[in-house]
């Protein structure tokens, strides 16, 4: 995809944004139309992960339009997943002209890492989170009475969990780039770890769609691990590139170092 110039009139920037949004929307819609035909198989795959927690009950469609609505949502969900590399690239390409030449070399690895982390988050959610979350939620309901397993409700929570964990797994990249470009000094992340942990706990409570403590605790644990892993990698790169003293640098110190290199 072509990259626009760094300096353009505001209307040209808006035109560039519209062009990239159009590419994403068309790609998602076309993919959704193709995927729609395969939705029965995809829904069966999704349900298979939570069948054990349902105690043998089958999902129920409660309205005439329910089947079409469910299939359309599932087709759109999988089309977004399939088009994930295109979506991420178009977003990155829009901001690419604003980056410095020394920062542009990170774009391709970043796109690859974002795609990989997104899929890794979804796979983790599929195999670890979904069984635990649905098992806990359904056990709470079965202790009260019978459940009418509304297919639309089940699949909505399923898809929101998958997307939520795919996005949550982008956290390492955010922390990594804030650190290595000294937008937030590494020492600040380390000294303010209590505040960060509390913020991650709040984030876990906000982004989990089922509001269950089981899902929130699992996501919180994952976010802590990803946060610490990102800081460990950032620390290694900062020291290898600029020396241990650079762990205390601010953004101004980093820019001064870049200026001195010229």
Instruction: Take residue 95 and report the two structure tokens written for it.
Output: 């901001």
Q: What is the pLDDT of residue 29?
A: 96
Q: How far apart are CA 35 and CA 149, in angstroms?
A: 25
Residue-wise pLDDT tens digits, 6-56 = 556 677 778 888 999 999 999 999 999 999 999 999 998 888 777 777 777
Say what percent of the chain tops pLDDT 90. Answer: 37
The strand pairing partners of 60, in sequence order, are 150
Answer whether 237's CB lies under 8 Å from 168's CB: no
Mean pLDDT, rounded, of the chain: 85
Structure tokens at 213: 């403590």
Give dist(CA 111, CA 115) in Å, integer: 6
Instruction: Reply yes or no on whether the pLDDT at 4 is more than 60.
Output: no
- Token digits for 177? 């780039």
Q: What is the pLDDT of residues 79-97, one digit of tens each?
A: 999 999 999 989 888 877 7
């Amino acid at each position: 995809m072509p990259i626009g110039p760094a300096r353009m009139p505001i209307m040209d920037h808006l035109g560039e944004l519209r062009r990239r949004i159009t590419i994403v929307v068309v790609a998602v819609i076309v993919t959704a139309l193709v995927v729609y035909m395969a939705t029965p198989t995809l829904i069966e795959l999704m349900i298979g992960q939570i069948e054990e927690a349902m105690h043998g009950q089958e999902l129920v469609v409660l309205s005439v339009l329910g089947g079409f609505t469910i299939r359309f949502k599932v087709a759109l969900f999988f089309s977004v997943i399939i088009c994930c590399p295109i979506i991420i690239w178009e977003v990155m390409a829009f901001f690419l002209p604003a980056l410095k030449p020394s920062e542009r070399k990170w774009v391709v690895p970043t796109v690859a890492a974002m795609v990989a982390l997104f899929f890794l988050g979804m796979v983790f959610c599929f195999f670890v989170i979904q069984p635990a979350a649905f098992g806990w939620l359904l056990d709470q309901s079965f202790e009260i009475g019978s459940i009418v397993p509304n297919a639309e409700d089940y699949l909505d929570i399923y898809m929101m969990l998958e997307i939520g964990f795919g996005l949550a797994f982008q956290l390492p990249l955010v922390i990594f780039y804030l650190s290595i470009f000294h937008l937030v000094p590494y020492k600040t992340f380390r000294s303010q770890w209590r505040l960060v942990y509390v913020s991650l706990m709040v984030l876990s409570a906000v982004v989990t769609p089922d509001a269950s403590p089981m899902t929130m605790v699992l996501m919180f644990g994952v976010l802590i691990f990803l946060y610490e892993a990102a800081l460990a990698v950032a620390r290694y790169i900062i020291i290898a590139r600029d020396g241990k003293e650079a762990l205390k640098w601010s953004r101004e110190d980093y820019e001064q170092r870049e200026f001195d290199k010229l």
